[in-house]
Amino acid sequence: MQKRKLGKSNLEVSAIGLGCMGMSFGLGQAIGKQEGIALIRKAVELGVTFFDTAEVYGPYVNEELVGEALVPFRKQVVIATKFGFKIDPNTGKSMGTDSRPEHIKEVAEASLKRLKTDVIDLFYQHRVDPNVPIEDTAGAVKDLIQQGKVKHFGLSEAGVKTIRRAHAIQPVTALQSEYSLWWREPEEQIIPALEELGIGFVPFSPLGKGFLTGTISTDTKFAENDFRNIVPRFSEENRKANQGLVDVIGQFAQQKKATPAQVALAWVLAQKPWMVPIPGTTKLHRLEENLGAADLQLSDADLRQINDAAAEIHLVGERYPEAFQKLVDR
């Protein structure tokens, strides 16, 4: 597996990471703990060194899973986790954002225990907190870095102004936001700003929450607890309208003797050398398929062909329901 550096930092990770959320939370049936451990350890064996989790995934159980799975490999892997939500101790549900410095430090201590480690490699603010100046948030993480409890500071779904303000207090190593052939908004302002500042980009949902793999049709029924049930883009009508993009990717994949997932991931990898997508999966054969994308080199002509064909497709549907849209910083 090739390695990449996140921006101008010295944080080097595998070219493709593993998003671990879906093993415990958010995308239908969680898998068993032993199954999750086996999958994560297989990823290490296949060359993955970058693993993504968060306290709110579950909550807590995903960090515990990742921590236990990676104990034997701790020195050779990079673990990213996230703070920034207030979690109801009785229900386990999120009660909105909370990036007060004292809360960030409490979360760090709890995450270190669950991850069975003495340092968090990359600590992201999960969502920008409108009630706490980003300077205070960045300052709290800076303190944790000085104490040796955190190595790198990250932001998630932050807008350009917030990124600049945070970066002035504590250099931001990486921004994590959604980016794929299905969601290209970061190209307008975010990616140019990251390039200017030397900040790495970690696209989540690089396969469009599974849509770009070609395995989801208008007839697909999601499990009751699957987040996609409430995502406007995944309504039956919108899936039908957006199928054209999947067809474009599928046709190109046939030319390349690759799978649609590999083409979608290779497209992300080809955008910038400091981008590291983190597709998630609960299945070993999908893990192996996704990692195969690192070997699929797309030429400038290939990228033009994909982009030209994709530009003909009119994509519809918001990527979040309204309540979640409010958490995205502009």
Q: Which of 200, 187, 181 is nearest to 303 (CA)?
A: 181
122 and 142 Cβ atoms separated by less than 8 Å? no
Phi first, then psi: what are they for 215, rounded to 5°? -100, 0
What SS3 class is residue 71? helix
- CB atoms under 10 Å from CB of 231, counted, come to 19
> What are residue 12's DSSP bridge partners?
5
Question: For 281, what's the count of Cα atoms within 13 Å in the CB-facing half-sphere?
Answer: 24
CA–CA separation, 287 and 31 (whole Å)? 15
Phi first, then psi: what are they for 242, rounded to 5°? -90, -5
What is the DSSP annotation of 204-236?
E-TTTTTGGGT---TT----TTBGGGG-GGGSH
Strands, E assignment, the chain: 3-5, 12-14, 18-19, 50-52, 78-83, 85-87, 94-97, 120-125, 150-156, 172-178, 200-204
- CB atoms under 10 Å from CB of 212, counted, come to 26
The dihedral built from the CA positions of residue 306, 6, 13 and 319, taken in this order, carries a sign that is negative
100 and 59 Cβ atoms separated by less than 8 Å? no
Residues with a catalytic annotation lie at 57
Q: Which of 146, 113, 168 is nearest to 155 (CA)?
A: 168
